[in-house]
Amino acid sequence: MLNARLLKLPTASHHHRHEHHQIVVGVRGEADLSVDGTGSHLDTWRACLVPTEARHDYCGDLQNHVLVINLDPYMPALNSPAHSEYETLAPLFEKPRTLVLDSKLQGLVQFVAGEFDRSPDNEGMKHHMGASILHCMAERLSEGREVRQNRHAISPDTIRRYIMENIQRKITVNDLAGVACLSVSRFHEMFREVVGVTPHQFLLQTRLDQAVQLLTMTPLSVAEVSYRTGFSSQSALTNALRKHKGTTPSRLRIDGKVA
Strand partners, 65: 28
d(CA 207, CA 205): 5
**Count of other CB atoms within 10 angstroms of residue 99:** 21
What's the pLDDT at 145? 47
Share of the chain above pLDDT 90, in %: 29
Structure confidence by residue, pLDDT tens digits, 50-103: 888 788 777 777 777 888 998 887 666 555 666 677 777 878 888 888 888 888
| 16, 47 Cβ separation under 8 angstroms | no
What's the pLDDT at 207? 94
What's the pLDDT at 204? 94
Structure confidence by residue, pLDDT tens digits, 143-166: 664 444 444 457 888 899 899 999
Predicted confidence (pLDDT) at residue 138 exceeds the cutoff of 80: yes
30-63 exposure pattern, b = at least 16 Cβ within 10 A, e = fewer:
bbbbbbeeeebbbbbbbbbbbbbebebebebeee
DSSP three-state, residue 74: coil
DSSP three-state, residue 66: strand
The band of 181, judged by pLDDT with boundaries at 50, 70 and 90, is confident
Share of the chain above pLDDT 70, in %: 86
E-assigned strand segments in the chain: 2-7, 14-16, 21-28, 31-35, 38-42, 46-50, 56-60, 65-71, 97-100, 147-148
What's the pLDDT at 33? 79
How high does pLDDT run on average in the chain?
A: 82
Structure confidence by residue, pLDDT tens digits, 198-224: 999 999 999 999 999 999 989 999 999
Q: Average pLDDT for residues 11-28, to the nearest whole number?
A: 78
